[in-house]
Amino acid sequence: MRLYTRTGDKGQTSVIGGRVEKDDVRVEAYGTVDEVNSFVGKARTELQGETFAEIQEELERIQHELFDCGSDLANKKSSRPYKLQQESIDWLEERMDDYIQKSPELERFILPGGSSASATLHIARTITRRAERLVVTLQKQETIHPVCLMYLNRLSDYFFGLARYVNVLNETKDVEYVRSAKVFRSGKRKENE
């Protein structure tokens, strides 16, 4: 097997159901999802040991789901079934709820960083947001699997919650943005609200 095919030498690539230019928004979208996947892999290398075993399993699951998402975004054939399903979104929401409970209450914006793994998860979060924006652009032009957009939206939030929880496990405080107003509301509601 060769790694090179020479079929893309003129600026086109194959997708499921045809060929497109390499700068097509569809290729940009699934290529950016692949970029997210690479940073998830990097985060996994930074989360070693028994303390992070469950998170390791979660991130491996997400890597598989990102491949599913990329495959769905590369699909121009309406007859081909999609891989990513609503249950993945539900699972992300469940995990986020858990991380919110296990992390300090948040009132202000925080700076990306803290531990090395947390910083990498913040990179994954911001690239996921870029992928989401590209998918929005793509859906204005062509039909896409709607679960992909919802999944990317939840995934970026998941990375935020996980990055904060990883800092908790590493006993590293989040650094608040010094000029931030209180932008997040406490989970406790006031009597007059």
Q: Torsion-angle region of residue 109: left (phi > 0), alpha (psi -120 to 50) or beta?
A: beta
Which H/E stretch holds residue 136? helix 116-141
Q: What is the pLDDT along the chain (193 residues), one digit of tens a residue?
A: 777 777 666 677 767 667 776 778 999 999 999 999 999 999 999 999 999 999 999 999 999 999 999 999 998 877 788 999 999 999 999 999 999 999 999 999 999 999 999 999 999 999 999 999 999 999 999 989 999 999 999 999 999 999 999 999 999 999 999 999 998 876 543 333 3
- The DSSP string of 55-82 is HHHHHHHHHHHHHHHHHHHTB--TTSPP
Do the Cβ atoms of 128 and 36 come closer than 8 Å?
Answer: yes
Look up the pTM and report it.
Answer: 0.89
Helix (H, G, I), strand (E, B) or coil at 12: strand
